[in-house]
Structure 1
Amino acid sequence: MTDDFMKAVGLDRAESLTDSVVPFAVENLDVRGRSVKLDEALNTILTRHDYPTPVARLLGEAIVLSALVGSSLKFEGRFILQTQTDGPVNMIVVDLQTPNGLRGYARFDEVALNEAAEKGELSPEQLLGKGILAMTIDQGEMTERYQGIVQLDGVSLEEVAHRYFMQSEQIPTIVRLAVAQFSEKGKAQDQWRAGGILLQHLPEHGGRTMADLPGDGDFNNPDTADNEFEPENNWVEASALLQTVDDHELVDPEISSERLLFRLYHETGVRVFEPMDLEEKCGCNADKIEAMLEQFSNDDIDAMVVDGDIEVVCEFCSTAYHFNPHQFRK
């Protein structure tokens, strides 16, 4: 790392590694954002279920988007991204448990996926189809959830994110996402890697963000959506520079977030802040599942019994839990 590079990005530490989020600001252009690089955490999630490649890539994009958005939370809680659509991939759920635990799951229709493959219709927007995308902030039992919903109508997750932020925060936002597989020496299977950048125009007079909005919210009210934003010169320049990023730059494990941001904004100056590590972490455990099973009636419990025992498999991490049905009968 050169002295010029360290000075330009304000680094007094080593460059961040993968599986991390790096917040940044380009103050001369009135923008802020976050950059994500995912490596082992993503690969663990995607390979655990042996998804078909197009499904894995789409879930990977959703995980990157969740990391970019959820990492902005300034309190303990969960950020949940969920899609429900009529496409071959009819449901995606990604859960970020603050401060750094990621998990994700995709449900798909194998027959519809094969038909889409025969037609060559495997782009993320074609796999999603039409439906909704919901982003939820959950601060725990004593608070109300804050949820925003945006329509999915045949566009990419990047474009949906742009619409979502204009509706929710009324802040112009651009998101770039990329997911790819890399061959690595000594490993039999290709490894999944991903990266993304979220860039936002700084409000002139402060403004609100998702992390500042506890309680219920309605992002679909046209009266609260700022659709009359007139792009300023600084925003035009900052967003145009971001659009020059190639996918391979976002996913390359040899290009740190700091180095990529320096490539983009070295002429105007970019400040990067302390990175936040990310890891694959599932929140399931036997106690939670027991508490859930205790809510069922005796008939429901009997219907769950196979060979004298109840098996519950976590959809996220595939861990199988086994229980004696007698402990739940009332």
Structure 2
Amino acid sequence: MTDKQRRLGEIGFAGDDDVVPFEVEALDVRGRVVQLGAMLDRILARHAYPEPVARLVAEACLVTVLLGTSLKFDGKFILQTRSDGPVDMVVADFATPSSLRAYARFDEERLAAAIAAGEDAPEKLLGAGVLALTIDQGDHTQRYQGIVALDGTGLQEAAKAYFRQSEQIPTDVKLSVGKLVLPGEGGSREHWRAGGLLAQFLPKSAERRHAPDLPGGDGDPLASPQEVADASWQELLALVATVEHEELLDPKVGSERLLYRLFNEHGVRVFEGTAVEDRCSCSEERIRGILAGFTAEEIEESVEDGVIRVNCEFCSKAYAFQPSEFSSAEA
């Protein structure tokens, strides 16, 4: 056993904001599990989103870190929705090795109407559109992008569809978002928490990965993960289905204890986790570089009260520049 892997109880618990990879060799299953705490709370508090929007952003963060922390190279994993619902765009991106940022765009009037009508479930807020999952390895490389339709489905089901459609790997995903009341200075306060689990069936035999009667043409309905007949995969689905939403959120359970509850009969191995943090990649230098590419007319249109102001949509940080810095911009 290497120092990168351990049996439960050997080293302790990863805690919040740490993605824990795991393997259940007896079931040919690998996956990752995470509980997001203080980091997620900071991201959501910064924007003061209405609660239904905050829940969507939290789910986007879960999917992004569960997938992004699997990257074995320097780069980014980006999740973005574009849809016709009251929340028409949600973006979360993970930059290796550990940086996460996220935000959402929504129509206040349509959102208020949806909430008043009791139609504030994630799939209702998203509406119809697409979910794009992008892997970016940086300059001079080609991006890989998978597109999944959003049509009355939430991010949990869309993530499963992505793996079935783009990777053809039987994958189960479970997401949970909620609030926890914790004591603090000035009294108790609600804090956002989120938990997620991703499990994949990766047997060594290709035949065991094959789902029966897979369609061959574009646009054909895809077989669901549940259609994989292998007994090990069916057992995995049954086990994951027993996970309560509270278990994914409860800091007293933790990622490792949850894995033990699920797989103690088969034996589960956990690996060194990846800590994730709330860190935006925006900077004064980067924004100045973008403005330097503006024409003189675009610079003039950007000036307000004698200053060019730019607010980062992710971290809400405000930047101010003097128009004279870009006086050489070509008309």
- After superposition, the Cα gap between the structure-2 partners of 1:28 and 1:251, relative to the gap in structure 1 and judged at 3 Å, is same
- Residues in 2 aligned to 1:178 and 1:124: alpha-carbon distance in whole angstroms: 12
Aligned to 1:290: 288
Cα shift at 1:253: 1.3
- After superposition, the Cα gap between the structure-2 partners of 1:50 and 1:11, relative to the gap in structure 1 and judged at 3 Å, is same
What are structure 2's unaligned runs of at least 5 residues? Answer: 1-5, 208-215
1:158 pairs with 130, 145, 156, which one? Answer: 156
Q: Does the 8 A contact of 2:32 with 2:66 survive in 1? A: yes
- Residues in 2 aligned to 1:72 and 1:78: alpha-carbon distance in whole angstroms: 11
- After superposition, the Cα gap between the structure-2 partners of 1:206 and 1:273, relative to the gap in structure 1 and judged at 3 Å, is farther
- What secondary structure is seen at the aligned counterpart in 2 of 1:152? strand
- Structure 1 segment 112-123 matched on structure 2, within 5 A: 112-123=110-121
1:131 pairs with 124, 129, 132, which one? Answer: 129
Q: Which amino acid aligns with 1:268?
A: H
Q: Does the 8 A contact of 1:78 with 1:95 survive in 2? A: yes
Q: Which amino acid aligns with 2:259?
A: L
Does residue 259 (structure 1) correspond to residue 257 (structure 2)? The answer is yes
Aligned to 1:100: 98
Aligned to 2:246: 248
- Residues in 2 aligned to 1:321 and 1:315: alpha-carbon distance in whole angstroms: 12
Aligned to 2:320: 322
Q: Deviation digits for residues 100-135 of structure 1, max 9, x if unmatched?
A: 101000001111111101110011111111100000
- Residues in 2 aligned to 1:233 and 1:185: alpha-carbon distance in whole angstroms: 46
Q: Which amino acid aligns with 2:42?
A: T
- Residues in 2 aligned to 1:230 and 1:128: alpha-carbon distance in whole angstroms: 29
Aligned to 2:218: 222
- Residues in 1 aligned to 2:119 and 2:45: alpha-carbon distance in whole angstroms: 23
Cα shift at 1:223: 9.2
Aligned to 1:38: 36
Q: Does the 8 A contact of 2:130 with 2:150 survive in 1? A: yes
- What's the Cα RMSD here? 2.1
2:181 pairs with 180, 183, 204, which one? Answer: 183
What are structure 1's unaligned runs of at least 5 residues? Answer: 1-7, 208-219
Aligned to 1:217: none
Normalising by the residue count of structure 2, what TM-score does the alignment of the two structures yield?
0.90
Larger mean Cα displacement after TM superposition, 183-192 or 233-242: 183-192
Aligned to 1:195: 195
Q: Deviation digits for residues 28-79 of structure 1, max 9, x if unmatched?
A: 0111100011111100111101000010011101100111111110001000
Cα shift at 1:326: 1.1
Q: Which amino acid aligns with 1:103?
A: R
Q: Deviation digits for residues 138-194 of structure 1, max 9, x if unmatched?
A: 111121111111100011211111111011111000100011111111155311011
Does residue 84 (structure 1) correspond to residue 100 (structure 2)? The answer is no
Q: Which amino acid aligns with 1:294?
A: A
- After superposition, the Cα gap between the structure-2 partners of 1:225 and 1:120, relative to the gap in structure 1 and judged at 3 Å, is closer
Q: Which amino acid aligns with 1:140?
A: G
- Residues in 2 aligned to 1:131 and 1:13: alpha-carbon distance in whole angstroms: 44
Q: Which amino acid aligns with 2:263?
A: Y
- Residues in 2 aligned to 1:281 and 1:75: alpha-carbon distance in whole angstroms: 19
Q: Which amino acid aligns with 1:157?
A: L
Q: Does the 8 A contact of 1:168 with 1:225 survive in 2? A: no
Cα shift at 1:227: 3.7
- Residues in 2 aligned to 1:179 and 1:149: alpha-carbon distance in whole angstroms: 24
Normalising by the residue count of structure 1, what TM-score does the alignment of the two structures yield?
0.90
Q: Which amino acid aligns with 1:271?
A: R
Cα shift at 1:222: 3.0
- After superposition, the Cα gap between the structure-2 partners of 1:190 and 1:93, relative to the gap in structure 1 and judged at 3 Å, is same
- What secondary structure is seen at the aligned counterpart in 2 of 1:175? strand
Cα shift at 1:206: 7.0
- What secondary structure is seen at the aligned counterpart in 1 of 2:174? strand
Alignment coverage as a number of residue pairs: 312
Percent of aligned pairs with the same amino acid:
50
Q: Does the 8 A contact of 2:8 with 2:256 survive in 1? A: no
Q: Does the 8 A contact of 2:183 with 2:189 survive in 1? A: no
Aligned to 2:297: 299
- What secondary structure is seen at the aligned counterpart in 1 of 2:261? helix
